[in-house]
Amino acid sequence: MSTTSLESLAIQSESILVLDFGSQTAQLIARRVRDENVFCQLVRHDLSAERIRELNPRGLILSGGPASVYAKGAPQVDPEIFELGLPVLGICYGMQATCKALGSEVRPGLSREFGHTPLRVLESDPLFSGLPQEFAVWMSHGDRVENLHEQFVALAASDDCPNAAIRHRERPIYGLQFHPEVTHTKFGKELLANFVHKICGCTGTWKISSFIDQECAAIKERVGKSRVICGLSGGVDSSVAAALLFRAIGSQLSCIFVDNGLLRKGEQQQVREQFSDHFKTDLHVVDAESLFLRELAGKTEPQDKRKTIGRVFIDVFRSEAKAIPDAHFLAQGTLYPDVIESGMNQDGPAATIKAHHNVGGLPAELGFELIEPFRMLFKDEVRRIGLELGLPESLIWRHPFPGPGLAVRCLGEITKPRLDTLREADAIFLEELTRAGLYREVQQAFAVLLPLQTVGVMGDARTYEDVIALRSVDTDNFMTADWSRLPYDLLQRVSTRIINTVRGVNRVVYDVSSKPPSTIEWE
């Protein structure tokens, strides 16, 4: 569970609680509210009215959810929450649960309504303040509210849904059949902002720095005099986690960085500069290059490489961690998108970590208690925290790098000379991309060393040498991606520099495949 205890939430001057009914987008609602500079956190859907009163939020949002309100075991709300005098916004399932609790009828719709729908505003209300009379919203529901109880009035309708937005006649209780939190709803951000500011009366004083202060206090209290270990990968999430832990507990933090010999050029040096010279953490750099290369020798099959790297990494990390006395905690930079399956624990959503792609992750059997300060946050929120903590822009905006590192970009056999070739070519590509001002425009760019040689000519001699492929992608979420339309003259500069200066390479190609059907990595 996040170190943010709900007690720390209670002391926030302004906060909104999202009661989580299991929607995929529940966390997105919280994030949109935080974007309004109002603290917001998910809590389980059946939190009692009494507990909510103790937490003292300014308003409640009831999320959507996959169930039908009449299904057996469907999550219900404590009807007492409507007596707290707090503004409530029910979204989709949250609206249906509200209506059911307050006496309206919810029925299965004749058809599922899914996708963009034009919404017409019928009644003026602060919720729609500043919004046009008609705009597109995103619907995704089967059930809908039918005989609206006379306590309620319809504020907006769509073609299929006469009660697409409703309000209680006397109390600030609202319901939306559509999802304002997703970007497909045209004025969703403004609508949620109206709820938070105009209806709940929040002024928006919460800042990322408040999150840092609050997390630091919670971590300090939880950790006591123990030592905390943080595994550094060189990437954004673990670096920001380490910087936050350093702010919280200073010399009680030990960082472990495993150099597996599969890193980008200069990576170990950058980690040393940041976490030993700048933040003076107790940094343990484990030079495990020869061990990894020995274990990888002769392996060419991608999953075999991944498994080997994962296994050796855990062994190396475990033995280094064991040698650090009094360490009871392990800090990790797990983000919300890494967390799927929103089961419910005591107050907030419990979760399990994605198995996909988590090579380089650590197993639970390591025996540490986990500190995961960012498990409720999205990547850009973590970036803001990192900048606030003083990490350099170059680190904060670094492209993601896979756990198995260059092993999955060095196609075929992994040897030190081949890795060195790849590292040099990759560094040139990234340097030229940065110089052209395009590094931050694309989401992931790298070089790949192919397992084949091609013929070339240098001077009067024929050569038979390696091929480097360049890959650069534009993507929102890494699930789908398009190849970056990099300028030809940039590609030409990169190609010339690589062929002229990286020994053993006589050809450079550019990957023009999108995902799907290709993937971003080549292995």
The catalytic site residues sit at 92, 179, 181
In what helix (H) or strand (E) does residue 464 lie, and over which residues does it extend?
strand 461-474
Q: How far apart are CA 213 and CA 181, in angstroms?
A: 27
- Listed ranges 36-44, 216-224, 355-363, 373-381: which one lies at the site for ligand XMP (CB under 6 A): 355-363
Q: With 0-12 CB in 10 A as exposed, 13-18 as middle and 19+ as buried, what is 450?
A: middle
The β-bridge relationship of strands 282-287 and 253-259 is parallel
* DSSP string for 96-148: HHHHHHTT--EEEEEEEEEEEEEEEE-S--GGGTT--SEEEEEEEEEEEE-S-
300 binds ligand XMP (CB under 6 A): no
Dist CA 118 CA 132 (whole Å)? 11
444 binds ligand XMP per the rule CB under 6 A: yes
Give the residue with the Cβ less far from ligand XMP, 144 or 383. Answer: 383
Residue closer to ligand XMP, measured from CB, 107 or 357: 357
What is the spatial order of strands in the sheet that 59-62 belongs to?
A: 39-44, 15-20, 59-62, 88-91, 173-176, 165-168, 152-157, 106-121, 134-145
Q: Which residue's CB is nearer to ligand XMP, number 87 or number 404?
A: 404
Which residue stretch of 91-99, 317-325, 378-386, 402-410 sits at the interface with ligand XMP (rule: CB under 6 A)? 402-410
| Binding residue (CB under 6 A) for ligand XMP from 359, 407, 448, 498 | 359
The residue within the footprint of ligand XMP, chosen from 357, 379, 493, 497 (CB under 6 A), is: 357
Instruction: Tell me whether the omega of the peptide bond preceding residue 516 falls within 30 degrees of 0, making it cis.
Output: yes
User: Please, what is the minimum distance in Å from the beta carbon of residue 26 to ligand XMP?
Assistant: 24
Q: Which residues of 388-406 are buried (b: 16+ CB within 10 A; e: fewer)?
A: bbebeeebbebbebbbbbb
Range in contact with ligand XMP (rule: CB under 6 A) among 318-326, 372-380, 452-460, 515-523:
515-523
The minimum distance between CB 423 and ligand XMP, in angstroms, equals: 16
Task: Give the span between the Cα atoms of 332 and 334, in whole angstroms.
Answer: 6
Q: Does 515 bind ligand XMP (CB under 6 A)?
A: yes
DSSP 8-state assignment for residue 169: S
- Which listed residue (198, 204, 314, 478) binds ligand XMP by CB under 6 A? 478
Among 115, 400, 412, 451, binds ligand XMP (CB under 6 A): 400
C-alpha 320: how far from its chain's center?
28
The span of 28-36, 164-172, 399-407, 482-490 binding ligand XMP (CB under 6 A) equals: 399-407
Binding residue (CB under 6 A) for ligand XMP from 20, 247, 404, 407: 404
Q: How far is the CB of 354 from ligand XMP (least distance, A)?
A: 10
Strands 349-353 and 339-344: antiparallel
Q: Is 26 helix (H, G, I), strand (E, B) or coil?
A: helix
Contact between 360 and ligand XMP per CB under 6 A: yes
Q: Residue count at the site for ligand XMP (CB under 6 A)?
A: 14
Q: Minimum distance between the CB of residue 516 and ligand XMP, rounded to whole angstroms?
A: 9
Q: Is 521 in the site for ligand XMP (CB under 6 A)?
A: yes
What is the rounded distance in angstroms from the CA atom of residue 378 to the CA atom of residue 333?
A: 11
Looking at the Cβ atoms of 61 and 262, the one nearer to ligand XMP is: 262
Of the candidate spans 85-93, 137-145, 182-190, 398-406, the one that interacts with ligand XMP by CB under 6 A turns out to be 398-406
State yes or no: residue 403 binds ligand XMP (CB under 6 A). yes
Structure tokens at 75: 């999550």
77 Cβ contact list (under 8 Å, min separation 6):
19, 45, 46, 62, 97, 98, 101
Residue 405 interacting with ligand XMP (CB under 6 A):
no
CA dihedral 352, 341, 42, 34 (to 10 degrees): 90
Q: Quick check: 88 and 59 in contact, CB under 8 A?
A: yes
Would you count residue 422 as binding ligand XMP (CB under 6 A)? no
Binding of residue 519 to ligand XMP (CB under 6 A): yes
The pair of three-digit structure tokens given for residue 205, joined into one six-digit string: 């004083």
Q: Which is nearer to ligand XMP, 189 or 354 (CB)?
A: 354
Return the number of the residue (177 or 260) whose C-beta is nearest ligand XMP.
260
Site of tokens 């505003």: 121
Binding flag, residue 352, ligand XMP (CB under 6 A): no
The pair of three-digit structure tokens given for residue 256, joined into one six-digit string: 């472990």
Residues 306-325 close enough to bind ligand XMP by CB under 6 A: 306
Is residue 500 a contact point for ligand XMP (CB under 6 A)? no
Nearer to ligand XMP, 355 or 457 (CB): 355
Q: Which is nearer to ligand XMP, 82 or 336 (CB)?
A: 336
Q: Of the listed pieces 66-74, 161-169, 187-195, 353-361, which binds ligand XMP according to CB under 6 A?
A: 353-361
Rank residues 250 and 400 by Cβ distance to ligand XMP and give the closer one. 400
Q: Of 400, 354, 388, give the one whose Cα is nearest residue 234.
A: 400
Calpha distance 385→370 (Å, rounded):
20
The contact set with ligand XMP (CB under 6 A) reads 306, 357, 359-360, 400, 402-404, 444, 478, 515, 519-521
